[in-house]
Amino acid sequence: MKQPLIECVPNFSEGKNKSIIDAIVQSIASVENVKVLNVDMGSATNRTVVTFVGPPEAVVEAAFQGIKKAGELIDMRFHKGEHPRTGATDVCPLVPIRDITMEETVQCAIQLAKRVGEELQIPVYLYEYAQPKDYRKNLSIIRAGEYEGFFEKIKKPEWKPDFGPSEMDAKRGATVIGARNFLIAYNVNLNTTSVRRANSVAFDVREAGRVMREGGKPTGKIIYNEDGTPKIQPGMCKAVKAIGWYIEEYGIAQVSMNLTDINVTPLHKAFEACCISAEKRGLRVTGSELVGLIPLKALTDAGKYFLKKQGLSTGVSEKELIKIAVKTLGLDELKPFKPEERIIEYLIADPKESELISKTVKDFTDTTASESPAPGGGSVSALCGSLGAALGAMVANLSANKKGWEEQTEWFSNYAEQLQTAKDKLLQLIDKDTIAFNQVMAAFALPKNTEEEKTKRKKAIEDATYNALLVPYETMKISIECLDILQLMAEKGNPNSVSDAGVGAMCIRTAVIGAAMNVKINAKDILHLYNVQDILKHTEELEQLAEQKEKTIRQIVQQKINGN
């Protein structure tokens, strides 16, 4: 069972002295079970964003050590930078990543804040989900006045810290600790050096919008509501915070954004909003910059969006979707963008779970041919299924992008996406099947000297064998779903690729029947703990169905080849 994971993204007020950042990162990385994923230093902002993950207790300890070390090495009395800040560790959010609730993450944030306040004697404010008081949930409101203004602000009763002393620490400042959802820090590059113009774009885009003025001019008088409050013109994008700034390092102005909920405003929508506003103001967006890490879905969604705008099929590989997104968003304008270093799922993935599919075709077949019993028939069945799905996706994409078939692009594209999803799931099952087999072997290797050990070993063997049965059973269920689509591709797809649909169907049939053999051979060793009769019955049905559907598709293919 995978353990719970929390992501921590502390922002330190140092972006120029690498030795200081190295020392802080080392203090974080020294905690067992913590993995540092990314260190993003910004010279102009004089700020570094560190991203690390781990189980809750380890993350809390690592965050504490990072905050402690930052307080020792960073002197806020001499700090200058473009980004708003309150202390050596400006903000330290905890983000639930896997198998942990927001409520549990909040408790971790409170535990960390309490310890920082009491042991390090640094003033600490809670924010977002960890903050019970509504007026103190928003980071920008807490941070208003910044380091320089906090010496007076902290003395006000309403701004008493949640933990630690009610007196500003001149050297270390104050820090803000909380729990939040995944946030994307994202900067859009403009072809101007004007902060005023960049702010105009930021105000157009951000949810908070701008104060309305007479004539719509910055110098016009403020327009007020009947209750005396300034009238606000909302921005184009919900769940987006934004400001404009000038980055001397790049010689350009940027719109610096925090996307707080990419389900509300995804990356590509925020980018396009900046493009629209910039064009309206005689400016041009030249590219963009990611600070820290990004979820895979944010880039694949962007890739699909831009392909759809071009009238092309969106049913392409994950790698291709990422490439389209990076190029269209200009994420590589200022520095190279390496997906393997910036996408969080890639960074936290266990290499063992993709050991086989990462091999070359030659290495995979050589490994299969070796005297080792794994990878075996189960893994090869999953590989056959993935190849069948891939061939179907190819036919769908060729049909979707065929000249003169534009009205059918979306129809074929949807099927291409479904087959890409099936292909990716089947690829994962290649390694899962071998991992499951190795777990069976490990169970057989358990000691059996006492009756207690024998009982424990017997249960471990049956548990592992049942899991080894479920993997090829999953291969069957995913593979069989591809046959209906392959039949449609044979009937309605690009006629020049009808043979590919036929070969794809034959691969799927092999996957189903091969996986069935692995289900049955494992089932015979399951004697006590699990009832597998329903699975065996369904296995027989899927075998027969695969035979029938593949035969039908081959007949269609043969007729098309013969010109009928």
Active site (catalytic) residues = 83, 433
- d(C-alpha 90, C-alpha 75), whole Å: 12
Q: For the chain, give the longest Cα–Cα distance.
A: 89
Segment holding 97, helix H or strand E: strand 89-98
CB 469 within 8 A of CB 486: no
Picking from 407, 185, 424, 398, the residue whose alpha carbon sits closest to that of residue 300 is 424
Query: What's the Cα-to-Cα distance from 461 to each of 246, 430, 468, 520, 521, rounded to whole Å?
Result: 63, 21, 10, 16, 14
Picking from 198, 446, 421, the residue whose alpha carbon sits closest to that of residue 316 is 421
CB 517 within 8 A of CB 559: no
**Which DSSP letter does residue 263 get?**
T
Give the list of residues 6+ apart from residue 320 with CB closer than 8 angstroms, or none: 303
- d(C-alpha 243, C-alpha 266), whole Å: 18
Hey, which residues does 38 pair with through a beta bridge?
51
The crossing angle, in degrees rounded to 10, of helices 267-280 and 296-309 is 50
Hey, which residues does 285 pair with through a beta bridge?
190
Query: What's the Cα-to-Cα distance from 244 to each of 141, 154, 193, 284, rounded to whole Å?
Result: 18, 27, 10, 14
CB 351 within 8 A of CB 432: no
